[in-house]
Amino acid sequence: MNNILSVALRQQAIYVPSGASTENMTPATAMLVAGLAKLGYTVSEPLLHALQHTTPDYHDQILQQLRKVMGVGLNWAPLVKNWSEPTGETTADHIITYFTNLLGLTGGTRLACGHLIPPHTFPLERYNGCPFCGMPLETADTVYLGQASKLRVLELWTDDDATRFLENLLTSKTALDATQQESLRELLAELPLPAVKISMKETLMMMVDVLIEQNQAATAQHLFNTPTDILRYLWYKHTGFLQLVSPKTVARRQQRNQQHLAYPKTTEVKTSVKASIKLKYGRKQALMVAQWMNALPADAAKICADMHPQREMWVRFIRALRLPEYSKRAGFDHLQTIMDKFYRVDYEVWQGRVNQFRLRCDAASTFYLLQQRPGMFARSLFANMLWFGPEAAISAFAQVADKVPARLLFTLQMYASYYFDHRAIRFVKPLGGTIKQLPPNKLLALYDQEELEQMQQAVANLCLTATKKRFAAIPTDAHTMYIDPALFRIPLAIGDRSEQIQDLSATLMGTRFPVQGDKVRLFMQWGKGMPAQHLDMDLSCHISYEDSIDFCSFSKLQTTGCVHSGDIRYIPAQTGTAEYIELDLPVLAAAGARYVTFTCNAYTAGSLVPEMVVGWMNSAHKMKISEKTGVAYDPSCVQHQVRITRGLNKGLAFGVLDVAAATIIWLEMPFEGQVVQGLRANNVQGILRKLDQKLSIGQLLEIKAAAQELQITDNPEADEAYTAQWAMDTAAVTKLFID
């Protein structure tokens, strides 16, 4: 039940089971509502009535779950007490303290960490720990409550809602992000598997994993149609990646993460990274995979051609699984044929033929092959328009546009103007990598501006026509449609999937949050459930001006409009520790700041530690900072937070403050670098421009209304009503993607 409650909270709801007690618990319900208000929540009227028929034990369970998500009870004490006031520490204080301890001098205060702080250096009464080494010596298990100027409304979630949400996740037309994957796992642990058709390969792999855990490997076998499906599952079980991230990419990222500014790369690092991705399987697992391969329905040549793009990975898996050995057993004739053809490369690769005809400028043969795989045609449409000319490419693609998945059509429509611009620098994120800059396609120089604009319009018209045609083919009895204005600010869930978990509210990248007051307070909490150790994570911000940049981090605790709570480099046992940065919007605006990017980095060798929580708070009312402990966290003021789960990111940008607009754009942009200076401002601005190009939910609904001849009205009681609450289930929104 806790799993369903956790999923409901991500949808701004509380789950009330159908078997709840029918006794009237009004006094207990009032206490629950008061407890929720302290955490920044209130309840809708239907939820209030439902809660009146639940037990006090369930009320406690709800509060405990919400407190767990919000981190109440953890250590939120920073290094400095009342850190909004400067401590007056200088670089000279660190240098004096360093030589005092190096030379073994006497005089001063010996702290529990072992360092001697000389007199007239750091004001020790202002610190919760050692100002020299960053080890916290005091913790605080209390936080502020109820300072928020606005309460978030929680809705009622029933068994039907939970089942419907599970079905939406399984049938989602786009790949699930990390939050949705976590929700899917939690719901499958509590609810029976519904009989629905799974749309995405990544989701299918999670279902295979569930079936194998239930000892139904034979049933899972029927879900594999290609060898790539099998490879995807094996790689997911080994690394946790549902996408086929190259082993070389994983190893390279891990090696870079282990590098430290003060230490050179060592042979031990390479050895440990290599060992971490080494494949090792027992006989039972090897036999299971051999049976899957032997049962694939396609002929051996086609199977080998499908294996070819990941040939290097397949060679490693074939050896680890001992497939040649199993192919010699009776009943494994198909596997033996596959192994024979694969090692002799006795097969023809589809992409090789496409490349061959393309290099010969044979448009007819190239388009004939691409039309056999409409998805691949869509992904290469822009490049082929420049290579063969827009008329031939558009004409050939139009013949198969009806077979292209809707998400690809929307992607083409969104990024046509972005691609056909000879001045635009494209920003992409390769699988498992960080943001990269790509120069404009060199073939753009062969066309003038008018021709490029015609290409943009041709793509937009083609995609719009295909989308309207699909919507028009769906019968409806509705006459009116209501579109919540908030939906025009929420982008479609296409690409840019989040790799971190959002436990408070599932939000798409590019969503804008208005700032309620003059201050924004960033926070980072890490080390929960871990033993005391050296673990240096850093909270920083990058400030972009018109012609300069600035930053606020452990090396620069104060700058214009920003103040840092101090650099903590050690974590206490189990409860973790915290850092804060407070941003003053009026001061930043007066100084001419345009954007402030929120970042976190792993200064310690390695990647960002799992279970780290980063986010920001804001309130129209002043948010307090404890003079005694320095605690500045109030769960009721938290506007958004994410929980780090993946282990390949060294640095992460998790939000951008648009100073002039007083809005915060939620994004997730990994970057390499031990400190905030590794972040490139033009990469951030490029990602923002790319997000601005994305089609919003409201715009797609307008296309639907036009195709089905529905009148858009301001009345929420329209025949078809699309609200912000409906859009919170992003998997349900993908039902608009008509394939």
What is the percent of the chain with per-residue pLDDT over 70, rounded to a whole number? 97
- 673 is written with which tokens? 């670098």
pLDDT higher than threshold 70 for residue 185: yes
- 72 is written with which tokens? 């109440």
User: Strand pairing of 720-722 and 480-483?
Assistant: parallel
Q: What is the mean pLDDT of residues 352-356?
A: 93
pLDDT band for 600, please (50, 70, 90 cuts): very high
pLDDT for 113 equals 92
pTM, entire model:
0.89
What is the percent of the chain with per-residue pLDDT over 90, rounded to a whole number? 62
* Among 293, 388, 308, 394, residue whose Cα is nearest residue 345: 308
Q: What is the mean pLDDT of residues 160-169?
A: 93
* Among 129, 128, 107, 126, residue whose Cα is nearest residue 118: 107
Q: Which helix (H) or strand (E) holds 203?
A: helix 201-213
Radius of gyration of the chain measured on its C-alpha atoms? 28
Cα angle 293, 296, 298; round to 5? 130
Task: Compute the half-sphere exposure of residue 364: CA atoms within 13 Å on the CB side of its CA.
Answer: 0
- 359 is written with which tokens? 């290099």
Query: For residue range 438-463, what is the model confidence (pLDDT) as tens digits?
Result: 888 899 999 999 999 999 999 999 99
CB 177 within 8 A of CB 202: no
pLDDT higher than threshold 80 for residue 606: yes
pLDDT band for 689, please (50, 70, 90 cuts): confident
pLDDT for 511 equals 85
pLDDT band for 72, please (50, 70, 90 cuts): very high
User: Strand pairing of 152-157 and 41-43?
Assistant: parallel
User: Strand pairing of 480-483 and 711-713?
Assistant: parallel
Residue 706: strand, helix, or coil:
helix
Cβ atoms < 10 Å from Cβ of 60: 14
CA–CA dist 562, 657 (Å, integer)? 13
Query: For residue range 623-679, what is the model confidence (pLDDT) as tens digits?
Result: 999 999 999 999 999 999 999 987 778 899 999 999 999 999 998 888 888 888 888
- 92 is written with which tokens? 């000279």
φ, ψ of residue 604 to 5 degrees: the values are: -65, 145
pLDDT higher than threshold 90 for residue 1: no
Query: For residue range 715-735, what is the model confidence (pLDDT) as tens digits?
Result: 889 999 999 888 888 888 888
pLDDT band for 22, please (50, 70, 90 cuts): very low
pLDDT higher than threshold 70 for residue 25: no
Q: What is the mean pLDDT of residues 9-21?
A: 84
CA–CA dist 98, 93 (Å, integer)? 9
Q: What is the mean pLDDT of residues 243-266?
A: 76
Cα 115 to its chain centre, rounded Å, is 40
Q: Please tell me the least confidently modeled range out of 140-149, 358-367, 397-406, 491-500.
A: 491-500
- Residue entry with tokens 């120069």: 439
pLDDT for 624 equals 94
Q: Please tell me the least confidently modeled range out of 192-196, 311-315, 366-370, 432-436.
A: 432-436
pLDDT for 649 equals 86
CB 626 within 8 A of CB 83: no
Query: For residue range 377-390, what is the model confidence (pLDDT) as tens digits?
Result: 999 999 999 999 99
CA–CA dist 158, 14 (Å, integer)? 8
Any alpha helices (H) in 568-710, and if so which ranges? 585-591, 681-692, 697-707
CB 552 within 8 A of CB 587: no
Work out the burial of residue 423: count CB atoms within 10 Å of its CB; fewer than 13 is exposed, 13-18 middle, 19 or more buried.
exposed
Strands (E), 171-300: none
Q: What is the mean pLDDT of residues 548-569?
A: 93
Cα angle 417, 419, 425; round to 5? 115
Task: Compute the half-sphere exposure of residue 713: CA atoms within 13 Å on the CB side of its CA.
Answer: 14
pLDDT for 262 equals 62
Average pLDDT in the chain: 89
Q: Please report the sign of the dihedral spanned by the C-alpha atoms of residue 250, residue 251, residue 256, residue 258.
A: positive
DSSP per residue, 425-466: PEEE--TTS--EEEPPPGGGGGS-HHHHHHHHHHHHHHHHHH
Residue 116: strand, helix, or coil:
strand
Residue 175: strand, helix, or coil:
coil
* Among 592, 595, 596, residue whose Cα is nearest residue 581: 596
CA–CA dist 175, 158 (Å, integer)? 26
pLDDT higher than threshold 80 for residue 20: no
* Among 731, 734, 733, residue whose Cα is nearest residue 722: 733
* Among 235, 252, 257, residue whose Cα is nearest residue 313: 235
Query: For residue range 405-415, what is the model confidence (pLDDT) as tens digits?
Result: 999 999 998 88
